Amino acid sequence: MNEPKPSEATARVIAVQDDIVSIESQGDASLTKNEVVFVLPSRSEAKHQERLKAEVLRIYGKRADAQVYESTLGVGVGDPVVQSGEQLSVELGPGLLCQVYDGLQNPLDLLATKFGYFLPRGVDLPALDRNTKWAFTPCVQTGTRLYAGATLGSVQERRFKHKIMVPFDIKGEVEVVWIQQGNVTVDEAVTKIRLPGGKEQIVTLKQRWPVRNPLSQTMLRNNVNQRQYPSAPLVTHLRLIDTFFPIALGGTGCIPGPFGAGKTVLQSLIARNSEVDIVIVVACGERAGEVVETISEFPLMTDPRTGGSLMDRTIIICNTSSMPVAAREASIYTGITLGEYYRQMGLNVLLLADSTSRWAQAMRETSGRLEEIPGEEAFPAYLDSSIKSLYERAGVIANADGHIGSLTMIGTVSPAGGNFEEPVTQSTLSTVKTFLGLSADRAYKRFYPAVDPLLSWSRYLEQLNPWYQRELAPDWTEQVQAVLRLLGHGNSVHEMIQVAGEEGVTLEDFIAYQQALFVDMVYLQQDAFDNVDVSVPLARQKETFMLIVKLIAADYRFADQNHARDYFTRLTGLFKNLNYAVWQSAEYKQLLDKIIHLNTAS
């Protein structure tokens, strides 16, 4: 995008309120909703002409309100405004992986290198490196007829074949006029196509797409994509999630919980160990310390699937709570658009948003400045529809080449005081199909992950039953539901014990309580600091869970409550050691024999 000049101004500022500026078009110029405009402050003390990026939110006649993505210090009435003619968009192409961007897709490492760690206003850098050469290999020939989203060729990006596709905004059939192989930058032409009207267009390795326009919906309307029904789980290697509260590959989930309950840690482990191709982490307003940990730790971590760096398959969108509200609100749209792009290639993408509460609060602040009618707790009246439209961009898609890709979205929610009845949590719960509710009480007891099994739920458990029957066991879902009922019964007995003491419950109920406690201690909890227990493959989960089901179903004949407690204490100790042992190792088999022997002896 060329540097805007005051002489190119087509509008002017007529009012300023925090990061909201009111502008008025001049002459025949017209304003468009969501169009990007640049405010050129005349009262700035900077040595160069600053250009502050803004987005048009509301139009009334020749006037409009726009949110500025940076501080409006020095902006005054009469300052020129230059229109870009395009909506807020991101660059799509090779070079996205291993990058850390802000909410407007500015590469933060490049910003820090050029300007230092105190970033100046009005800086807009290209998201993709303009000097890197990519080896383009075509997969079609001259004369081939294609539709939007069809693959023209590919370049190697990290360990992925990055597909170069026909631009997504083209309608109808196009013809390849010429195509070449070679090393090119993202700005150099690799092919020329003839559009339905006869006009010819150059295609490079990159293209732009407006972030607020769902890519999948556009492709569905053009009959290029086909939406598929999620039919397999997202394997996270976390026992509690994979077994009891699964999230479908291409599905949606949320992790609400109070501060200090372990949302960020849980999200980090899901990002590290999940069986997906691409991970996009969107820090849309989290505290700087948590974001710094993510940025500094991910490059040092090993990808369990490939042995390479975890960052090789990761993109981080970073907007801390100290960054401008408007950029914080845009960051989640930037992240999900990048996710849709890689899904269009037929890859499985996981997007983790931390936290959507900050994104909703940014919308609340902007809505208040626009003097819109507030909803509950001053959130905008359209909060519910905004959250739904965001999560609806997840899903499983069959692309133009017939390849199936998925975008799974998991958002963390930070309700004030852990109150799950607040608007953001309630709107999210009515949208997603997996709810992993974190408990402050479990976190205080050092139970990790601190997901409350009595509070959480997953609608995918029944939906994915055919997959479980085929891949794990015919009665897998029934066994999982039976153990969940045991956990509920055990909690009821525990509450009775707290009131009436152990002598106030029957031996049968006490055994059920000990069984529920045993399941909680050895299966629901997972040691994030142990190299073995931190990540459990699905095959090992199946073996462990079936053993637990067998132990629970055993016909115990305990003499009294002390006998039952002693047995389950010893069993829990053996099982914890089993979890720490390398699967199928000699130590693992020895512990397994001891568990079976203890059960037989009882």
Tens of pLDDT, residue by residue over 424-441, are 999 999 999 999 999 989
Sorting pLDDT into bands at 50, 70 and 90, what band is 394? very high
Say which residue, 270 or 2, is predicted with more confidence. 270
Q: What is the DSSP string of 135-168?
A: EEEE-S-TT-EE-TT-EEEEEEETTEEEEEE--T
The DSSP output letter for 423 is H
Q: Are residues 264 and 318 in the same domain?
A: yes
pTM of the model: 0.94
Position 295 pLDDT exceeds 80: no
Only one residue has tokens 């509450």, namely 495
Closest CA to 68 of 18, 9, 119, 19: 19
Mean pLDDT lowest among 260-264, 371-375, 557-561: 260-264
User: Domain of 574: which CATH number?
Assistant: 1.10.1140.10
Q: Are residues 307 and 174 in the same domain?
A: no
Mean pLDDT of the 196-218 span: 93
Position 288 pLDDT exceeds 60: no
Consecutive H or E run containing 190 = strand 189-194
Mean pLDDT lowest among 39-43, 414-418, 549-553: 414-418
Tens of pLDDT, residue by residue over 558-571, are 999 999 999 999 99
Mean pLDDT of the 301-309 span: 81
**pLDDT computed for residue 306 by the predictor:** 81
263 is in an annotated binding site: yes
Q: Is residue 55 part of a domain?
A: yes
Q: What is the C-alpha radius of gyration for the chain, rounded to an integer number of angstroms?
A: 27
Sorting pLDDT into bands at 50, 70 and 90, what band is 188? very high
Sorting pLDDT into bands at 50, 70 and 90, what band is 103? confident
The neighbouring-strand residues paired with 449 are none
Say which residue, 513 or 71, is predicted with more confidence. 513
Q: Are residues 285 and 427 in the same domain?
A: yes
Numbers of helices and strands, H then E, in the chain: 17, 26
Sorting pLDDT into bands at 50, 70 and 90, what band is 205? very high
Sorting pLDDT into bands at 50, 70 and 90, what band is 591? very high
257 is in an annotated binding site: yes
User: What are all long-range contacts of 291-300, with beta carbons under 8 Å and residues at least 24 apart?
Assistant: 291/318, 291/320, 293/264, 294/264, 294/268, 295/100, 297/268
Position 597 pLDDT exceeds 60: yes
Q: What is the torsional sign of CA 452, 457, 461, 462?
A: positive
The DSSP output letter for 416 is G
**pLDDT computed for residue 402 by the predictor:** 85
Q: What is the torsional sign of CA 284, 287, 293, 295?
A: positive
Sorting pLDDT into bands at 50, 70 and 90, what band is 397? very high
Sorting pLDDT into bands at 50, 70 and 90, what band is 154? very high
Q: Is residue 203 part of a domain?
A: yes
User: Domain of 17: which CATH number?
Assistant: 2.40.30.20
Mean pLDDT of the 242-252 span: 97
Q: Measured between alpha carbons, how far is 583 from 532 in angstroms, rounded to an integer?
A: 8
User: Domain of 256: which CATH number?
Assistant: 3.40.50.300
Position 16 pLDDT exceeds 90: yes
Q: Are residues 333 and 188 in the same domain?
A: no
Q: Is residue 127 part of a domain?
A: no
Please give the share of the chain, as a percent, with pLDDT higher than 70: 96
Q: Is residue 528 part of a domain?
A: yes
Tens of pLDDT, residue by residue over 18-48, are 889 999 998 888 899 999 999 999 887 777 7
If phi > 0 it is left, if psi is from -120 to 50 it is alpha, else beta; for residue 77 that is: beta
Q: Reply yes or no: is the peptide bond before residue 449 cis, omega within 30 of 0.
A: yes
Q: Is residue 100 part of a domain?
A: no
Position 498 pLDDT exceeds 80: yes
Position 285 pLDDT exceeds 70: no
**pLDDT computed for residue 3 by the predictor:** 61
Last residue of a domain, one of 391, 426, 461: 461
260 is in an annotated binding site: yes
DSSP-based three-state secondary structure for 37: strand
545 is in an annotated binding site: no
204 is in an annotated binding site: no
Last residue of a domain, one of 87, 118, 153: 87
**pLDDT computed for residue 63 by the predictor:** 94
Q: Measured between alpha carbons, how far is 246 from 196 in angstroms, rounded to an integer?
A: 45
Sorting pLDDT into bands at 50, 70 and 90, what band is 323? low
**pLDDT computed for residue 496 by the predictor:** 95
**pLDDT computed for residue 321 by the predictor:** 60
**pLDDT computed for residue 375 by the predictor:** 92
Tokens of 291: 């974001």
Q: Are residues 574 and 480 in the same domain?
A: yes
Sorting pLDDT into bands at 50, 70 and 90, what band is 229? very high
Q: Are residues 244 and 316 in the same domain?
A: yes
Q: Is residue 1 part of a domain?
A: no
**pLDDT computed for residue 289 by the predictor:** 60
Tens of pLDDT, residue by residue over 448-469, are 999 999 999 999 999 999 999 9
CB neighbour class for 60 (10 Å; exposed up to 12, middle 13-18, buried from 19):
exposed
**pLDDT computed for residue 4 by the predictor:** 66
Position 574 pLDDT exceeds 70: yes
Consecutive H or E run containing 113 = helix 108-115
Position 315 pLDDT exceeds 80: yes
Say which residue, 221 or 543, is predicted with more confidence. 543
The neighbouring-strand residues paired with 442 are none
Angle (deg, nearest 10), helices 476-500 and 507-519: 120
Last residue of a domain, one of 208, 224, 256: 208
Position 304 pLDDT exceeds 90: no
Q: Measured between alpha carbons, how far is 381 from 373 in angstroms, rounded to an integer?
A: 7
Please give the share of the chain, as a percent, with pLDDT higher than 90: 70
**pLDDT computed for residue 176 by the predictor:** 96
Mean pLDDT lowest among 108-117, 152-161, 544-553, 566-575: 108-117
553 is in an annotated binding site: no
**pLDDT computed for residue 185 by the predictor:** 97
**pLDDT computed for residue 287 by the predictor:** 60
Number of domains comprising the chain: 4
Q: Is residue 145 part of a domain?
A: yes
Position 51 pLDDT exceeds 60: yes
Q: Are residues 300 and 381 in the same domain?
A: yes
Say which residue, 107 or 6, is predicted with more confidence. 107
**pLDDT computed for residue 416 by the predictor:** 81
172 is in an annotated binding site: no
Q: Are residues 525 and 455 in the same domain?
A: no
Q: Is residue 122 part of a domain?
A: no
Sorting pLDDT into bands at 50, 70 and 90, what band is 113? confident
Mean pLDDT lowest among 102-111, 293-302, 510-519, 576-585: 293-302
314 is in an annotated binding site: no
Q: Measured between alpha carbons, how far is 111 from 55 in angstroms, rounded to an integer?
A: 22
Position 271 pLDDT exceeds 70: yes
Residue 199 belongs to domain spanning:
134-208
DSSP-based three-state secondary structure for 276: coil
Q: Are residues 455 and 484 in the same domain?
A: no
**pLDDT computed for residue 204 by the predictor:** 97
Q: Are residues 307 and 204 in the same domain?
A: no
The DSSP output letter for 224 is -
User: Domain of 143: which CATH number?
Assistant: 2.40.50.100
Mean pLDDT lowest among 39-48, 198-207, 274-283, 344-353: 39-48
Q: Measured between alpha carbons, how far is 477 from 38 in angstroms, rounded to an integer?
A: 56
Residue 187 · residue 204 · CB < 8 Å: yes
Position 320 pLDDT exceeds 70: no
Only one residue has tokens 């998991």, namely 410
Q: Are residues 419 and 325 in the same domain?
A: yes
Q: Are residues 443 and 492 in the same domain?
A: no
